[in-house]
Amino acid sequence: MANVAVIGAQWGDEGKGKVVDWLASRADVVVRFQGGHNAGHTLVVGNETYKLSLLPSGLVRGKLGIIGNGVVVDPDALLGEIARVRAQGLTVTPDTLRIAENAVLILPLHPAIDKAREEARGGRKIGTTGRGIGPAYEDKVARRAIRIADLAEPDTLSAKLDELLLHYNALLQGLGVAPFAKDTLMDALLKLAPQILPFAEPVWERLDELRRGGKRILFEGAQAVMLDVDHGTYPFVTSSNTVAATAASGSGVGPGSVGFVLGIAKAYSTRVGSGPFPTELRDDIGQLLGDRGQEFGVVTGRRRRCGWFDAALVRQAIKVGGIQGLALTKLDVLDGLEELKICTGYRVNGQYSRRLPAAPGAQAAAVPEYETMAGWSGSSRGARSWADLPAQAVKYVRRIEELVEAPVTLLSTSPERDDTIMVKDPFEG
């Protein structure tokens, strides 16, 4: 049986939480390998709705959850999330959750500089959540980050805080923001240490043992391929690599351990924040998709921009993301629309292209080329087999498969975990 990596194939918010939750029932461990608490997954289980940002979705299924070294961890956000899901009845202890000891911490100065810089950009905002994700990754690359293992060494914390404050206080003062005091940060970290350290370990070692023991590992991505810091719509991207290859480096396993790569895509397109979005609809249909799909960010509450399915974009994500099969979600949102459109490519300054170019100016100039299909009058909501779907809905899914050059492996037809059509078992490889 193969391991499985789940990643987004658009701009995020594709419904990864439900799919991971559904797959977690058949996994032994679920691993978060990149991102931070700027990403959110919503899981609907009966009458209970869980909103997770840092915690691996498998915890809802009672599975071992692992936060890998590729994640940047805000300790206050993590402890707050643990308290919240415990109040909903979930068990989160060091027996059910492990965190990589070499994961980087987000400190209060990170969101402070994040928000200050975004504000200073004025009309050229990137659309960051302001939660300090980018600055924490900057520190990691600049080799000045404080990591979870450092919480056990007060002398190390003290020395690293000196270096961080030398860097950040100058920037903050230049942006008109009050500087941070070392004593305040030091005291806070020392108080957090006994609450965080019991969860910490070299998770690469545990994952190696699980792999050699034949256990099924589910790698859970955050954001999506088109927000990848290298392959996405730069600079309107996240600050980490979101492609499947990062499942290995972000958790401490070899690339051969990642297994089957499942990409998640909505049956239409959405995006939160700024950046190019060729198929965006600023009309009644866009409004309808947002209302029906309840398109609001889990973390920020921001309304998502909505548009037609962009097959050229998803095809690109499949190629660079290593996606072997698609899980198509929210098909039911399209029920009742008389006409549907699928973007098959773009006109960029008069020339046709099947890919979204890398340069920002060319991205902004991309005009979608559409293929039009008839919609369906019946309901696809809650379908659990192909036979339950309207015939035209099946044609729509098949056309998407042809255009993106990958098969639909799973089809989700409502937020409920069991309203899923499995075409192929991802764990079978």
Report whether 332 contacts 381 (CB < 8 A). Answer: yes
H helix or E strand, kind and range, residue 51: strand 48-52
Other Cβ atoms less than 10 A from the Cβ of 85: the count is 17
Which residue of the set 37, 41, 110, 231 is catalytic? 41
- Pairwise CA distance, residues 31 & 287, whole Å: 35
Q: Which residues contact 366 (CB under 8 A, 6 or more apart)?
A: 276, 278, 346, 347, 348, 353, 356, 357
Phi, psi of 53 (to 5 degrees): -120, -50
Active site residue 388: no
Give the N- to C-terminal CA distance of the chain in Å, as an integer: 7
Antiparallel, parallel or unpaired: β 339-348 and 48-52: unpaired
Exactly one of 13, 228, 310, 419 is catalytic; which is it? 13
Listed residue (272, 263, 286, 275) closest to 409, CA to CA: 263
Residue located via tokens 């809905």: 393
Would you call 13 a catalytic residue per the annotation?
A: yes
Instruction: Write out the DSSP string of 66-93.
Output: EE-TTBEE-HHHHHHHHHHHHHTT---S
User: Radius of gyration over alpha carbons of the chain, in Å?
Assistant: 22
Nearest-angstrom CA–CA distance, 98 and 167? 31
Point out the residues that are catalytic: 13, 41
